[in-house]
Chain A
Amino acid sequence: MAGEWLALFRDPNAQWILFGCMLLGLGSGVIGSFAYLRKQSLMGDALAHAALPGVCIAFMLSGSKSILLFLIGAAAAGVVATFGIGFITRHTRIKQDAALAIVLSVFFGIGIVLLTRIQHSGAGNQSGLDKFLFGQAASMVRSDVILMAVISAVLIAVCALLFKEFKLLSFDPGFARGLGYPVAFLEQLIMLLIVIAVVVGIQAVGVVLMAALLITPAVSARYWTEKLGVMVVLSGVIGALSGLVGTYVSASGNNLPTGPLTVLASTVLFVVSVVFAPRRGLLSKVLLRAAARNELRREKEFLLAERRERREEAV
């Protein structure tokens, strides 16, 4: 059994995919914790859907299935989508959740129109587009994985360099503006990083599940700590671990898709956090409540005993 395990890791292609998925989980976990604190968790979901028209337009214009062009198209569509969401929430009374849902569905609708146009016009084999959208890490070739790893590494590096600025921005943007930080620029930068993480992740885990890689590790990490630094690291580790487990189970023979397995792995970690985390977890809450009840009972008994004693003395 152990031999088979190791054999899997010795296959160079599997190694690359494993490495790529871990880096992806790490990167999206790190940027996801900032998104979570800024109450923009579902931005990832909206941007992942919004990437579809970008990818289609890139394909229509170039006619080739180059991953790099797809990434550029998706990123451009993502940036347009963030501007759209920002415009709607700033200029009307529509709230952020509705703005997200509008941009998500309209962009995805337009994307489907373009996709069906491509399919009906029969411009070559478009199956690459499907793969790109629904994600299949096992079908990635080495150059894709290298691209993914490099981008994830850059993402993590930017977060590490601008940690102090992002921290202030997540907790108190007003104060950050008062100190003279370029708040609008930094906000747009965080958005851009989310767009990049989403775009890179789509081909590994698919449109719908990319959101989970941004949200679930961050929420799980939040259960364990009150410190941003610890949370970001923990979230990255949880993301990387889910990438590892997901890719491993997917590669170990039964040919299940990588994306859902990665998401399930991170969900399991989330459930573990919900139950076992210190202070915020269910178990510790139950224990705390039981302890408080015991304390109360002891106090009550003590008071009763005291009163009885006093009454006996009076008699």
Chain B
Amino acid sequence: MSTFWIILTGALVASACGIVGCFLVLRRMALVGDAISHSVLPGIVIAFLISGSRDSLAMMLGAAAIGLVTVFLIQWFHQSGVQSDASIGVVFTALFAVGVVLVSLYTRHIDLDLDCVLYGEIAYVPWNTIELAGIDIGPKAVWGVGIALALILALLFLFYKQFKICSFDPAMAAAVGIPVALFHYLLMGLVSVTTVASFESVGAILVVGMLVVPPATAYLLTEKLGRMIAYSVAIGCASSVLGYGLASLLDASIAGCMIAVAGGLFLVALLFSPSHGVIFRKLRQKRMIRHRTAS
């Protein structure tokens, strides 16, 4: 049973991240996920200090708030003339440093493990269950990530067209009257909710990986946004299943194995994708040269 819950959590994280990540990759903001997943640390610690419990809801709210602050600060520094990647770097490292200092100041003897925040431990997911009216209804992480995924699906269903135009041509989106800034912050809000919901149970690194690697793999395979999202979700789920298998084979970190498998799939797509793969492109170039010289 615990195997099922772990794979389910992995697949849910992969699906939620895979969908949101497609938009991040298309909008060249892949590293925002990395930034948010690190900068939510002070939010979690502050929420923990105020509420005094490891209650997920308080932590999630604190983290989501800091996530939005991060995005806002990045945008603000970028607009005031700092290069976008540098503004990402400045903001998230500063917030992460605040978080680490807070952890070492106040919570040294309390159970808020830094390593666990960073690499997470998906293996503990099945033991952290919630009860409703006395009945065990499954792990907390599954519910958290599941709700985030439902939120993403609902918003995407309602505003698919708007998200699509905003990611490919923001100028045109503004011209046809779509509130681009609103959708930017909505997307960033989704990224931070996804990150926060996932990383308490699976660790920041799995979230960052799942936000970028499967969407980038899908980006190499197709030209259509709808298909890219579907492929990205499928690749994410496949890497979580295969990653679990690899982890039990090697007796190593499950989250790490899932990312390693996703990386392997990316490498395969990088080399063998029919449209964008390196090998087929080389072959096509050669054929073209031969064709030219022959004619």
Interface of A with B (CB < 8 Å)?
36, 39-42, 44-45, 88, 91-95, 97-98, 100-102, 104-106, 108-117, 120, 130, 134, 208-209, 211-212, 214-216, 218-219, 222, 254-257, 259-261, 263-264, 267, 270, 274, 280, 282
Contact = CB atoms under 8 A, between A and B. Distances in A.
B90 interface: yes
A259 B30 contact: no
B96 interface: yes
Given A88-B270, A100-B30, A263-B97, A106 B89 contact: no
B101 A264 contact: yes
Contacts of A254: 105
B262 interface: yes
Contacts of A264: 94, 97-98, 101
Contacts of B288: none
B151 interface: no
Interface in B264-295: 266, 270, 276, 278, 281
Given A100-B30, A212-B89, A105 B100 contact: no
B86 A218 contact: yes
Residue with the highest number of chain B CB atoms closer than 10 Å, among A39, A98, A215, A261: A98
Contacts of A91: 270, 278, 281
Interface of B: 25, 28-31, 33-34, 38, 77, 80-83, 85-90, 93-94, 96-98, 100-101, 104-105, 114-115, 118-119, 205-206, 208-209, 211-213, 216, 219-220, 247, 250-253, 255-260, 262-263, 266, 270, 276, 278, 281
A219 B205 contact: no
Contacts of B86: 36, 41-42, 215, 218-219
Contacts of B96: 208-209, 260, 263
Given A41-B89, A108-B205, A110-B260, A256 B101 contact: yes
Given A112-B256, A120-B251, A215-B86, 14 more contacts: A91-B281, A92-B220, A97-B28, A100-B30, A101-B33, A105-B209, A109-B256, A112-B253, A112-B259, A208-B118, A216-B90, A219-B86, A222-B82, A267-B94
Given A109-B260, A112-B256, A280-B81, A100 B31 contact: yes
B82 A106 contact: no
A257 B97 CA distance: 10
A303 to B, nearest CB: 34
30 contacts: A92-B220, A94-B216, A94-B220, A97-B28, A97-B85, A98-B219, A101-B31, A101-B34, A101-B212, A102-B216, A104-B34, A105-B205, A106-B266, A109-B205, A112-B252, A113-B247, A114-B252, A208-B118, A209-B96, A211-B93, A212-B89, A215-B86, A218-B86, A219-B87, A257-B100, A263-B94, A263-B97, A267-B94, A267-B97, A270-B94
Contacts of B119: 112
A260 B97 contact: yes
